[in-house]
Structure 1
C-alpha cells in the first residue's frame, strides 16, 4: 500500500519528534541522576570525618604524653632507675651509663611539637613520630635554670608507643623577631577615649566601678572578679592602673554611632601579694550616643605593615 506525500511528511516529522523526545528524556534522566548525587551530597548522610580526626588526636596525645614521661624518667635517671629506663627504650649496656646521683634536675616538661615522620616496618606496620619536649633544667636544685629541648623518636604500633632510641638535644625554633606595633598616636588623660579606657580597666581588673558603664551592650565583658589592686604612691594613695594609652589614629572627641577606634592600654597593677604586674590591653572602642565605649578586647595588638622584622639575637650572638 502506498502512502501519499502528506502522510509521508507527517510520519517523518513524528519520527523526528520522537527521536528528539527520547534525547530529551535521556538528558533529563541523566540530569536527575546528577541531581540525585548532588542531593545526596547536600542532604544525605554526611561522611564521618569526626571519628578519624578524634582517633588521630587521641593517638597524638598518647605519643606526646609517652615522650613527655620518658624525658622525665631518662634525664635525671640514676643507676637505681635502670628498670624505668627500660620501660621507655631498649638500650644495650655499653651505650647506657647512668650516674649514681641525678645529673640534672628538670621541671615543667612540655610538648613543643609532635611530627609524623613516616611508616616503618614490614607492610608499614609501624608509624614513626618525632616528639620535641621542652624542659627547665638545673645542674642542682639551687642552680639557675635554663630551657632545653630534647627530641624523642617514638615508634607507634598496635603494641603501643616505644622510643626507638635515647633522646637527643636539639635547638629551638629560634629567638624570634621584634616588630613595632601600629599604634602611633598617644592619647592625653583629658581625652574622652583615655578616660573610658582607664575607667574600664579599673572596673575590669579591680572591681572598682561597674564594667557596664564603660562597655557596649554586645561586648560580653563583665569583669574578672578583682584579681588586682592599684599601686600605691609614696603617700599610700592609689595610683591609676593605666599608665599610657596609644591609638592607631587619634580618636575624635565626639564619635559618630558605630565609629570605631583601636587603642592599646599600658597597665601596672598589684597582685594580692603586692607584687607589681605589667599588662597591655588591646581594645576596640565604638561610638555610642556621641561617647566612646569599649566594644571588645582584641585577640592581639595591631602590628605594623610598614616596618621590617628585627631578628632577636640568640645566646652569644650580637643583635642584628
Structure 2
C-alpha cells in the first residue's frame, strides 16, 4: 500500500489558489510596508521608553537633592521661607522680660538710694553707678513708694530708659507735704550684669489735663433698668441677695467675698439709649441691649461712703432687665466722619460740668444730653468729657426725681 505523505501534510488546509505573478508581488509589497511600519512603531516606543526612564531618573535625583538641601538648612538653623511660628517666636524673643525686670528693679532702688544719700555714704551708690557724685552733708529727702512709670529700650546700646515715679518729702520734716516726682535712669543690661549708665535725671510727670468723652447720652430716673442695676450691685458688693438671679443666662459674675460695703445707693445713672418715661413699664423687645454708667455711693462705715462707677451692659429678656457684663471700659461715642470744611472737628454732645446736662428734664426723668452745636475731634479715641467721672450726690436739682 502506497502512502501519500503530501496529502497527509496538507490535511485540513485549503488548497492554494493559483494566482498570477503580479498579484503575488502586490501582496509582498503590502506585507513589507506593514513590517516597516511595525518596526518604526517599535523604534518610537523604545525611544519613548528611553526618555521616560531618563525623566524618572532626573526627577528622583532632583528630589534627593532637594531633600539634602532641606536637611542642611534644618541642621544649620535657616529656612528659605518664614512661617507664622517663626514670626511669633521672633516677636516674643524681641521682648527680654528678664532684662526688663532687672532694669526696672535697679532703677527703683537707685532713685530711692540717690535721693536719700548723704556725704560719707558714697559706697551705697557705687552699687548702682560709676563715678563720685557730689552729695549733701545730710540727707535732703525721704523717698517712698517707687514705681516704674514708663520704660523704653534701645536695641543698639542695649539700654533701658526707665522712668521711676517716687513719693518725696523733705527729710527734716516728717509732716512736710509729699510730692510725686519722676526720674529717668538709663540702665544697661548684659549677660555680665546690670548697671546704671548715669545718675537719675528729673523729668516732668505725664500730663493728666486731657478730658475723656463718654457715649452715655441720657440720664435715667425711675426706670426698671436702674432698679435692676441697683439690685445687682447690691448683691455683688454687699452680699445682700444672689448675684446669679440678676444675670443674663450663660453669664457668670462672682460676688465679692468678703463683702466690702455695708450698703450701696445709686446716685446717678446714664444710658446709651433714650429710655423715656413712656417706656418705663414696657422694656424693649427681648435681646435689646442698653449700656449703662452707674454711679454708686458705697457705704463703708455708718457715716462714711465712697463713690464708685460701674459700666454695665444690660439686656432685656422676659419683661425684665438683666446684667450681661461689667464692661472693662466704658462706652465711647463713635468717631465722627471727617468733612472737607472741617477736617478735624465734628458735631458732638455737650459736656455736663455738674453730673447732669444743662437741658435736663425732671418731668420725663430722661436727659437728652445732646447739643448739636458742640464740636469734638473726629477721632476714635475719647477726647472731651460728656459725662463726669463722679456725679456729686444730693447737689443736682435734676436728680430729685430718682
| Match 2:164 to one of 120, 130, 133 | 133
Range 217-226 or range 60-69, more displaced = 217-226
Structure 1 residues 193-232: aligned runs within 5 Å: 193-225=225-257, 226-230=259-263
Is 1:275 the counterpart of 2:312 in the alignment?
A: no
- Partner residue, 2:360: none
Is 1:68 the counterpart of 2:108 in the alignment?
A: yes
| Cα displacement (A) at 1:80 | 4.1
| Cα 1:14/1:188, change in 2 over 3 Å | farther
| Cα displacement (A) at 1:129 | 1.6
- Partner residue, 2:199: 166
Secondary structure (helix, strand or coil) at the match of 1:75 reads helix
Counterparts of 2:221 and 2:266, CA distance in 1: 12
- Partner residue, 1:83: 123
| Cα displacement (A) at 1:195 | 0.8
| Cα 1:141/1:10, change in 2 over 3 Å | farther
Larger radius of gyration: 2
Is 1:285 the counterpart of 2:309 in the alignment?
A: no
- Partner residue, 1:261: 290
- 2:213, 2:384 within 8 Å by CA — same for their partners in 1? no
| Cα 1:208/1:8, change in 2 over 3 Å | same
Gaps of 5+ in 2: 1-31, 335-347, 349-375, 378-382, 386-402
- 1:201, 1:242 within 8 Å by CA — same for their partners in 2? no
Counterparts of 2:94 and 2:241, CA distance in 1: 45
| Cα 1:288/1:153, change in 2 over 3 Å | same
| Cα displacement (A) at 1:104 | 1.4
Q: Cα deviation per residue 1:57-89 (whole Å; 9 max; x = unaligned)?
A: 111111110111111111111124311111111
- 1:255, 1:291 within 8 Å by CA — same for their partners in 2? no
When normalised by structure 2's length, the TM-score is 0.61
- Partner residue, 1:246: 270
| Cα 1:55/1:185, change in 2 over 3 Å | closer
- 2:129, 2:195 within 8 Å by CA — same for their partners in 1? yes
- Partner residue, 1:233: none
RMSD: 3.7
- Partner residue, 1:155: 188
| Cα 1:282/1:51, change in 2 over 3 Å | closer
